[in-house]
Structure 1
């Protein structure tokens, strides 16, 4: 078994988490057992994931989406109470890494989405690689709108929602996982043929058409699975712990 704080410190250093100003708390969010043998990873710390952790007798739940979001009600009632009661009642640590896990140049969500899709990363438009979130690069080959959507579907096992903003082949790609649809103007200004993110808003359709850039909402959950898996695998490679990823289905 390994000290919980040792694992948290190692992840803090790996992800350079101190660089980020986030909308939530990165690191240890709920304290449990001081010693950790089993680490369960998942995208979001929902009740279904916590129940899996209890059944597996996990000592730590490691996620991308934890708790304590900006402007979230502070009261521990209802769903929040049940989640906290599960963690505290079974002495399970909850650790979450949000923007640091999106941005990491090797095991981050954006880097791994690009790798999965076969996109060449040139740079981030909103900062240096390792800190920026809006990646841009080229596909191995230019694809039509329909072909691009099918490639996303095959790789992520989720049909994307696509908005065709022009009739050009899609070669220059900008992407940011999760709920980054409002970065579409930056993507268009950066010269991308297509912007890929996780979610879509009503306004995104009109922006894509008027900016002349195609847009694909490939799924918030689907675009952010790989990072937390990679972090768990990295942790298991560095320490004598067991790691298990559980994919709680989410169509969004």
Structure 2
């Protein structure tokens, strides 16, 4: 597949033009003209790049790429080593941030909602269509005890979570937004969720949860954002003339 065809496939699938993002979505570092082998991952760190070189990948697809807003423009040190490895090995780098969070089938939020078995899904940002919302609200088939729900989410993300239980009330209505979205807890309150799940926690988040009466879970930024890269590896691997694999570089954050 030609590089231009590959990017067209990604853009048709993820619709980056819908989003005002903090980094460029699409091709970030140009490599070879033809793409047949693709590595996907959460973040374009050196370990992932080295693994892609070893697998002889033509392209890397990530959620966290490069050239973020307010990032220093100098290509030195760690940034130089990463980009130099890509260029020396003629590997294309594609980054898709908010589009990969929001996609209703391949997105991070959709993946987390799937492992929790959420139905009746609505946008967390209630003024947006669900395919543009950075977050999902959904319902469990039946209300769950706090212990049962903690077991369910820890199984889903493969790690222990921080769970701030603010009452003994069970959980039925769930709001979630993967990654560093702890600031959306107040929006979760507005949509009357019993619990809000994200990846990270700030000091003030716990006080909001306690004082406003909403259970809160921080399940890990990396752990909650594996889903999109995994789903895109499966999607790309189904395309003609492409092989794709997901490589996980674990991160406890």
Bin of the TM-score, shorter chain as denominator length: over 0.9
**Alignment gaps of 5+ in structure 2:** none
Deviation, structure 1 residue 146: 2.4
Shift of 1:165: 2.1
Equivalent residue for 2:230? 229
Displacement of 1:134 in angstroms is 2.1
The answer to whether 1:40 aligns with 2:39 is: yes
Task: Tell me the residue number matched to 1:189.
Answer: 190
Which residue number corresponds to residue 211 of structure 1?
A: 212
The aligned residue for residue 82 of structure 1 is 81
Cα deviation for residue 149 of structure 1 reads: 1.4
Aligned match of 2:137: 136
User: Could you give the per-residue CA deviations for residues 29-65 of structure 1, whole angstroms, max 9, x where no partner exists?
Assistant: 0000111111001110000000101111111011111
* Aligned twin of 1:245: 246
Q: Indicate the SS of the match to 2:206.
A: helix
How do 1:1-252 residues align onto structure 2 when only pairs under 5 Å count? 2-126=1-125, 127-252=128-253
Question: SS of 1:36's equivalent?
Answer: coil
TM-score for the superposition, normalised by structure 1: 0.97
Q: Supply the distance in 1 between the matched residues of 2:248 and 2:167 (Cα, whole angstroms).
A: 35
Contact 2:122–2:138, Cα closer than 8 Å, also in 1: yes
Report the 3-state secondary structure (helix = DSSP H, G, I; strand = E; otherwise coil) of the residue aligned with 2:153.
helix
TM-score, normalised to structure 2, is 0.96
Q: CA deviation at 1:239?
A: 2.7
Indicate if the aligned counterparts of 1:37 and 1:240 stay in contact, CA closer than 8 A. Answer: yes
Given that residues 166 and 214 in structure 2 are in contact (C-alpha distance below 8 angstroms), is that contact kept between their aligned partners in structure 1?
yes
The whole-number CA distance in structure 2 between the counterparts of 1:141 and 1:158 is 24
1:72 CA displacement: 0.8
Q: Is the 8 A contact 1:114 1:121 kept in 2?
A: no
Contact 1:103 1:130 in 2 (8 A): yes
Q: CA contact under 8 A between 1:50 and 1:87: conserved in structure 2?
A: yes
Give secondary structure in 1 for the equivalent of 2:238.
Answer: helix
Residue pair 1:179, 1:199 contacting (<8 A) in 2 also: yes
- Paired with 1:25 and 1:165, the residues of 2 have a C-alpha distance of 39
Aligned residues: 251
Runs of 4+ in 1 over 3 A off after TM superposition: none
In the alignment, the residues of structure 2 paired with residue 170 and residue 195 of structure 1 have an alpha-carbon distance, to the nearest angstrom, of 10
